[in-house]
Chain A
Amino acid sequence: MTFVRSAPEPVLPPPPRGRDPAASSTFGSAANIVTTLVIAFFAERSLPHFLAWAFTNGVWRGDAADCRDAGACWIFLHEKAPFILFGIYPEAERWRPLLVVSVLIGLTLWTMPHRHWTRATLLTWVVGIAGSLLAMAGGVAGLTPVPPSAWGGLPVTLLLTVLSLALGFPLGLGLALARRSRLPLGRWLATGTVEILRGVPVLTLLFIAAVMAPLLLPDGMRVETFVRALVVFTLVSAAYLSEVLRGGLQGVPRAQMESAQALGLRRREVLLIVVLPQAIRKVLPPLASTIIVVIKNTSLVMVVGLFDLVSAGRVVLNDPAWPMPYAETYLMIALVYFAVCHGVARYALHQERVLGEGGR
């Protein structure tokens, strides 16, 4: 039997699209209704308490005495914020850590758009970090020397994060490549290093670095606690980043490498221009998680006597003149961490979208 169309099929609008997803996920199924009710119940119970504590009874002006038997003691934060942010760094010199924090944040923001991913930006980072360390340490250009044991607060957190990621990334890439190499020795060494660093708690590694380093180093040689902690964080970041990167490298087809080689590109160019960007694009979500873990891990330096954001917060709480406003202080610190980590997460999401434009 043959068929020849005589009249064209009409072009129709699509059928109606079901319910609005927000409404249906709130009330859609029985399970969703229960979840919504439970959340509403607790919100209804606790939100008024929180609002009363934070606002109605919150102390926004006055002095320490006003905070007795009151709600949130915000004036405490107002008074202590500089200490929480900059720690025991000499008060007269606080412009130096402030400058360092501004430079690090400014550089980070500047680096975000793709068009700024240039050699010049990389160089600016190197200069910026070296300059930051000099500005913190002093002893040059007429700046009063301040030893790393007296650094504190946000600059310590940021410097540890930036340095351990910046140094850990190439190291991690090296470990990932070594694990994929044809040489068994390189493979074993890299695997062993990664497994040891991942298998031991960071806290333990920090203690080992603090206790063991003096035993291992030659007599009379002393390494600042800051540097020891930095070494630990760098190694740990490298171990975690290497596993993430290894996953990404495995996902890039061999043919990509071969077609790059066939064009005459050098091994380094094949890796950095062709393979690595594709590998990173494949592992952006775990990469962002790893970076966030590294950021939060820096708060562990407290145990070896370094003065990061969290340790500074604990110190100000010891001021006997104030009624120990724990919640307010930790809320502020949590907000700082959240702002940074959330920024990383959002940026990673944005990159997924931008880099996803290429399709495939």
Chain B
Amino acid sequence: MTILDIAGVHKWYGDYHALRNVSLRVDAGERVVICGPSGSGKSTLIRCVNGLAAHDAGEIVVAGETVSDDPAALRRIRTRVGMVFQDFNLFPHLTVLQNCVLAPMRVSGLSAGKARDMALALLDSVRIAEQADKFPGQLSGGQQQRAAIARALCMQPEIMLFDEPTSALDAEMVKEVLDIMKALARAGMTMLCVTHEMAFAREVADRIVFMDEGQILEVADAQTFFTDPGHPRTRVFLDKISL
């Protein structure tokens, strides 16, 4: 069952053609990793999925709802799509727990008690339940990113978008975040994940999308992608990142 359908999407920043006729279908439960060189439009693409960036042409349908500039429709989509950012973007003036219960209470209308129970359970699943009452500034980068994942999961999303979730982390914290993401993948979450962690991609991804200059150059299953890439630029890219 298709849960995300990106069809013929274009986006321009001024005169710059940032997305060029991008099409991609993602089935429910599928794990898709997007990779490509810097500036290739990976962030732009996943930000179009939940309307943080507006696409100029083509169509994006998330769980039956078309992404448009209608605020109500956008909000409905955003409650079903969780997003994790490179820089965590927790709200620094709220505790971890308050970060987590904010949207469930305001957007989903959960009671304070229900939201709290769910948040604590999810914080426990990302192994930082004991940090619930601390402020984000008091946590390590890895803990902050795990809190941010828990915050997104509190909305019980059907898809999770990740934009280079480990790029701002010190090496020793990358693993703790990737472990959480792997657990999420095993639990059957639909994931669309921009990352340069190729070992993670190889282990988790059902399909890998390679982007360059705003276009999708190749889509392949992980095995084919790494052992027998079809596009010459994919090979160049893989050579570069594996040194």
Contacts and interface: CB of A to CB of B under 8 A. Distances in A.
Same complex for A and B? Answer: yes
Interface of A: 255-256, 258-267, 269, 273-274, 277-278, 281, 355, 357-360
A358 B78 contact: no
A258 B78 contact: no
B102 interface: yes
B136 A360 contact: yes
Contacts of A258: 52, 85, 89
A259 B106 contact: no
Given A259-B85, A264-B107, A360-B92, 16 more contacts: A255-B87, A256-B91, A259-B83, A263-B78, A263-B103, A266-B71, A266-B75, A266-B106, A277-B93, A278-B93, A358-B92, A358-B93, A358-B94, A358-B138, A360-B136, A360-B137
- Complex A-B, nearest 8 residue pairs according to Cβ-Cβ distance, in ascending order: A359-B137, A259-B89, A358-B135, A263-B103, A264-B78, A264-B107, A262-B83, A264-B79
Contacts of B135: 357-359
Contacts, number: 72
A356 to B, nearest CB: 9
Interface string B87-123: 1011111100000001100110000000000000000
A359 B148 CA distance: 17
A355 B93 CA distance: 7
B195 interface: no
B234 interface: no
Contacts of A264: 75-76, 78-79, 103, 107, 155
A299 to B, nearest CB: 35
B91 A274 contact: yes
Interface of B: 50, 52, 71, 75-76, 78-79, 81-83, 85, 87, 89-94, 102-103, 106-107, 135-138, 148, 151-152, 155
Contacts of B85: 255, 258-259
Contacts of A357: 135
Given A259-B85, A277-B93, A355-B93, A265 B137 contact: no
Contacts of B107: 263-265
A267 B71 contact: yes
23 contacts: A255-B87, A259-B83, A259-B90, A259-B91, A259-B148, A262-B50, A262-B83, A263-B102, A264-B78, A264-B107, A265-B107, A266-B71, A266-B106, A274-B91, A278-B93, A357-B135, A358-B136, A359-B92, A359-B135, A359-B138, A360-B92, A360-B136, A360-B137
Contacts of B79: 264
A233 B16 CA distance: 49
Nearest to B76: A264
Contact of A261 (B78, B82, B94): B78
Q: Which of A259, A260, A269, A355 has the most CB of B within 10 A?
A: A259
A281 B50 contact: no
A269 B91 CA distance: 13
A264 B52 CA distance: 11
A135 to B, nearest CB: 37
B176 to A, nearest CB: 21
A302 B83 CA distance: 58
Contacts of A358: 92-94, 135-138
B153 to A, nearest CB: 11
B171 to A, nearest CB: 23
A136 B138 CA distance: 50
A354 to B, nearest CB: 11
Contacts of A265: 102-103, 106-107
Contacts of B89: 255-256, 258-259
Contacts of A277: 93
B85 to A, nearest CB: 6
Nearest to A278: B93
Contacts of A267: 71
Q: Which of A263, A355, A357 has the most CB of B within 10 A?
A: A263
A251 to B, nearest CB: 12
Contacts of A274: 91
Nearest to A275: B91
Nearest to B87: A255
A92 B81 CA distance: 67
A255 to B, nearest CB: 5
A266 B89 CA distance: 17
B123 to A, nearest CB: 16
B45 to A, nearest CB: 15
